[in-house]
């Protein structure tokens, strides 16, 4: 039995609870994730078909990633914290940023994607599997 993943924004106006385990935990170095994070990569916990409950009304904006994937990012309209991301064409995917977790130590990256867009100053764990673009599917 797993413990739910809970978290939210910095001011507490947006909250989430996810029942289920992440399908993947990764660092992405694509250009869109760089822009969204303000640094060399963004970290994600990807949940597929998990039971998700959210509280509060986030602001949202849409962007298109390097591979053409349309992403809808949710952030707090009060404090501006990024909280979660969804894909309009794949509604069963729910992605959170590790810093939004109540227990960020639960994040353990398993891979790095889009290293082709990475910068030498963004040091990633060399022990992790790394992919120039998206890793191949199962």
What pLDDT score does 1 carry? 47
Question: Six-digit token pair at 26?
Answer: 């990764």
- DSSP string of 5-72? EEEE-SSSSSEEEEES--SEEEEE--HHHHHHHTSS-EEEEEEES-EEEEES--EEEEEE-TTS-EEE
pLDDT, tens digit, 9 for 90 and up, residues 20-38: 999 999 999 988 888 888 8
pLDDT for residue 125 is more than 50: yes
Q: What gap in Å lies between CA 105 and CA 39, rounded to an integer?
A: 20
What pLDDT score does 36 carry? 83
Contacts with 98 (C-beta within 8 Å, 6 or more apart), sequence order: 25, 43, 44, 45, 104, 106, 107
Burial degree of 123 (CB within 10 A; 0-12, 13-18, 19+): exposed
Question: Six-digit token pair at 36?
Answer: 């969204």
pLDDT for residue 138 is more than 60: no
pLDDT, tens digit, 9 for 90 and up, residues 60-113: 999 887 678 888 999 999 999 999 999 989 889 999 999 999 999 999 999 999
Domain-by-domain residue ranges, the chain?
5-116
Band of pLDDT at residue 137, cut at 50, 70 and 90: low
Q: What gap in Å lies between CA 73 and CA 122, rounded to an integer?
A: 23
Q: What is the mean pLDDT of residues 112-116?
A: 93
- Tell me which CATH code domain 5-116 carries: 2.170.150.70
Band of pLDDT at residue 40, cut at 50, 70 and 90: confident
Order of strands across the sheet with 5-8? 5-8, 15-19, 51-55
Q: Which residue has the higher pLDDT, 63 or 53?
A: 53
Q: What gap in Å lies between CA 39 and CA 36, rounded to an integer?
A: 8
Residue among 136, 118, 90 nearest 27 (CA): 118
Band of pLDDT at residue 59, cut at 50, 70 and 90: very high
Q: Which residue has the higher pLDDT, 112 or 50?
A: 112
């Amino acid at each position: 039995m797993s413990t739910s993943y809970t978290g939210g924004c910095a001011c507490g106006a947006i909250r989430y609870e996810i029942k289920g385990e992440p399908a993947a935990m990764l660092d992405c170095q694509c250009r869109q994730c760089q822009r969204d994070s303000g640094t060399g990569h963004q970290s994600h916990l990807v949940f597929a078909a998990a039971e998700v409950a959210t509280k509060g009304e986030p602001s949202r904006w849409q962007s298109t990633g390097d591979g053409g994937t349309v992403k809808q990012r949710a952030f707090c309209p009060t404090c501006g914290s990024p909280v979660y991301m969804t894909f309009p064409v794949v509604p069963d995917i729910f992605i959170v940023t590790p810093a939004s977790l109540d227990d960020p130590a639960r994040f353990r990256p398993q891979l790095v994607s889009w290293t082709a867009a990475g910068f030498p100053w963004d040091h990633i764990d060399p022990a992790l599997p790394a992919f120039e673009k998206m890793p191949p599917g199962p």
